Amino acid sequence: MSEVHTQSQIPSADPFVLFGEWFAAARESEPNDSNAMALATATADAAPSVRMVLLKGYGADIGTGGGFTFYTNAHSRKGGEIRANAQAALLFHWKSLRRQIRIEGPLTEVAPEVADAYFHSRSRDSQLGAVASDQSQPMQQRSTFLERYAEAKARFAGGEVERPVHWTGFTVTPHAFEFWLDRPGRLHDRRRFERIEGGWTDSLLYP
């Protein structure tokens, strides 16, 4: 018979600190993209969509209330949804650890100088690809994109690749976290944190 844990294995703590501990463990255990997260957005009339993106910065010192930052083409589908409805949900799922974290909150755009710094930290091919791509727009054939990539490569040869103004970053400022830990027999462990003035409140949830 499997062991039944009578006490929660998810501590009552600062959720940013707890996220950092779990994220550090994931970076040691996950074989690929431990910073991958599902990003859910919605249109102005609340039609949802979700896709995987990469976390590129996080911490309690980001913005005015801490945050989780990713980058994208603001002309993409998700970019349009963010502009129309600046709310999002994130999900980290680390299968090797049998853990997941949900995060919910409003979105704000990063400052241009922050977007510039991250854009120029990427590989040159990635920078040129961002210039060449009309992300999420219809494309008749792949060769069109590759031709645009070649044109961008020639245009910026020998110099710095200019960041497109619509290529930018967004930060989710959490108003809620939920930490989930797998347990045998589906007797899972869940703890939800919600922001209150001056800190966080938390409670256990039934699995």
Q: Known catalytic residue: 186?
A: yes
Name the active-site residue from 99, 186, 192, 195.
186
Return the half-sphere exposure (C-beta side, CA atoms, 13 A cut-off) of residue 141: 3
- Return all residues near 49 (Cβ < 8 A) that are at least 6 apart: 40, 41, 42, 77, 78, 81
Q: Looking at residue 136, what DSSP letter applies? A: T
Tokens representing residue 114 in the block = 């922050």
114 Cβ partners below 8 Å, 6+ apart?
169
The catalytic residue positions are 186
